[in-house]
Chain A
């Protein structure tokens, strides 16, 4: 069994985070506009024995052990070439725990995850576990304390992930009982994004080619 450790990353990581946000949707744009990323600290989880030199290679995979060969398979393309299919491991449990702890702090906490590819009318969205907030053509998965059930958070994470390396989420702590306004599926407005970014506590960015995640924590004043 692998052991893991949490590490705090230096300011160099902010360039990667900004690049990811640049390729994101409206939530990302508002984060870039309203949040000074320098005013925060970025951490990630890695295997205890991971080579620190590779730690800053956020676009590269290989931080986790490769899946056992017994799980690999192959197929032969019509052009005669052989291809190998290998399952990819990820540290999604780490992210799920982080969300679970955040949501358990109370009714004021919500989490948003941007789905990088989905549009509001996509048929598959009618069969998923997550509640959805939309903005124009964009889809955001919503998590609140209600979702703090066994495995539900992890399921929603998995639904929000795509094969694209861009994975962005936000932990938001809304004042008063404003969080209740987002309990149900609804369309968002620019004012909602202003409110979210003003109250963001953490930002999640996918890294290591889908294997890991970076968590930016806003420094408390």
Chain B
């Protein structure tokens, strides 16, 4: 399968599968401060995959859609291959044992400069004990450090609005910034050719990370959240197929006149009430005869995404989501 990757600086932001064909798919990466893919969305902003990692990069929660060809650029943006290893350039990394599979290739350089290093270059010498941990990843601090090519650990950085920010100790700040990495910088495009074997792709999304093919975590190392609690993440999965068996609504739930226009009343007798106009979202359409209310929540973030909330005034609450065109 031919894949075109789009970068901002060193950060992969989009993968385009089959770029020149009708079966073209675009996947947008939403990364954390290490560059690890945490969410993958399509060109419509629909969630295609949600991944969380242990600090050392092993998959902890993986919620793929049923597409087999999702890109596998995962922990620190590196590709997880069919062997369950990440290829960093100079060497392979195994997230399950949290170690490189080969020794640090920089050792020779450290030894060559040993004499002078002790005087002038302690950091890059054999006298610095961390340099003798030849198989350890990220100076044993994988939350703060990455190793872009397997040769040298460095503090993680991320690009925000054209500024490069050196990773703070706390990952939370970076998580807040997730999603705006594309906001600045120069876009550089190039194409790499990947041949993806369908069977391999299937196994990647399952066995290699202790997660089975339907997204259930079968790892015995951690106590992961119940995937059921994240089912919302999957609501956009190939919806036209998944939702075929739904029953047609025959309730009295009022329907928005225009899903994207909160200013339109859902019907006669309804009033807008709240602390701001409909565009502000600070209020709801309300029926004073019945106590029903309908609230446009059109800026709601993932995983739920934009929706309208409805309450019938007697405890019945539903959300209304768009599901695409009917031909």
The total of chain A residues at the interface (CB under 8 A) is 53
Contact check, B248 vs A75: say whether CB atoms are below 8 A apart.
Answer: yes
Which stretch from B14-22, B200-208, B288-296 is at the chain A interface?
A: B288-296
How far is it, in angstroms, between the C-alpha of A116 and the C-alpha of B317 when the chains are bound? 16
Contact between chains at B315 and A83 (CB < 8 Å): no
CA distance A21 to B317 in the complex (A): 23
Is A50 touching B255 in the complex (CB atoms < 8 A)?
no
Whether B284 and A164, one on each chain, are in contact in the complex, defined by CB atoms closer than 8 angstroms, is yes
Which residues of chain A come closer than 8 Å to B316, judged between CB atoms? 87
Q: Which residues from chain A contact B318 at a C-beta distance below 8 Å?
A: 85-88
Note all chain A residues with C-beta closer than 8 A to B225: 49-51
Q: How far is the CA of A50 from the CA of B229 in the complex (A)?
A: 7
Stretch at the interface among A35-43, A57-65, A169-177, A191-199: A57-65
B249 and A74 form a contact (CB under 8 A): yes
Point out the residues of chain B lying under 8 angstroms from A123, CB to CB. Answer: 288-289
B246: Cβ under 8 A from any A Cβ: yes
A88 to B282, CA, bound (A): 20
Residues in B with CB closer than 8 Å to A162 are: 284, 286, 293, 295, 311, 313
- A60, A82, A128: the one contacting B301 at CB < 8 Å is A60
Q: Secondary structure at chain A's binding surface: helix, strand, loop or mixed? A: loop
Contact indicator B226/A49 (Cβ below 8 Å)? yes
Q: How far is the CA of A69 from the CA of B315 in the complex (A)?
A: 20
Decide: B275 and A23 in contact? CB cutoff 8 A.
yes
Are B304 and A209 neighbours in the complex by a CB distance under 8 Å?
A: yes
Q: How far is A80 from B313 in the complex, measured between Cα atoms in Å?
A: 29
Cβ contacts under 8 Å, A119 to chain B: 273, 288
Q: Are B284 and A81 in contact (CB under 8 A)?
A: no
Closest to B302 in A: A60
Q: With A and B bound together, what is the CA distance between A47 and B199 in angstroms?
A: 36
Query: Given contacts A158-B315, A163-B293, A210-B309, is CB(A81)–CB(B325) below 8 Å?
Result: yes
Minimum distance in angstroms from B306 CB to a CB of chain A: 12
Bound-state Cα–Cα, A75 to B243, Å = 12
**B89 contacts the other chain (CB 8 A):** no
How many residues from B make CB contacts under 8 Å with A?
64
Distance of A51 from chain B, by nearest CB (Å): 5
Of the residues B232, B251, B324, contact of A61 by C-beta under 8 Å: B232
Cβ contacts under 8 Å, A87 to chain B: 316-318
A72 touches B246 (CB 8 A): yes
By beta carbon, the residue of chain B nearest A155 is B315
A129 to chain B, nearest CB (A): 10
> Are A66 and B326 neighbours in the complex by a CB distance under 8 Å?
no
Among candidates B235, B283, B324, residue contacting A82 with C-beta atoms closer than 8 Å? B324
Instruction: Check B323 against A82 for contact (C-beta < 8 Å).
Output: yes
Which among B61, B288, B309 is the interface contact of A124 at CB below 8 angstroms?
B288
Q: Which residue of A lies closest to B324 (CB)?
A: A82
The docked-state distance in angstroms from the alpha carbon of A171 to that of B151 is 61
Q: Which residues of A contact B317 (CB under 8 A)?
A: 87-88, 90, 161, 163, 210
B321 partner, pick from A51, A59, A86, A116, beta carbons under 8 A: A86
Query: For residue B52, which residues in chain A have a CB less than 8 angstroms away from its CB?
Result: 51
Known A119-B288, A165-B295; 9 more pairs at CB < 8 Å: A23-B282, A47-B226, A49-B224, A86-B318, A87-B316, A128-B291, A163-B294, A163-B311, A210-B317
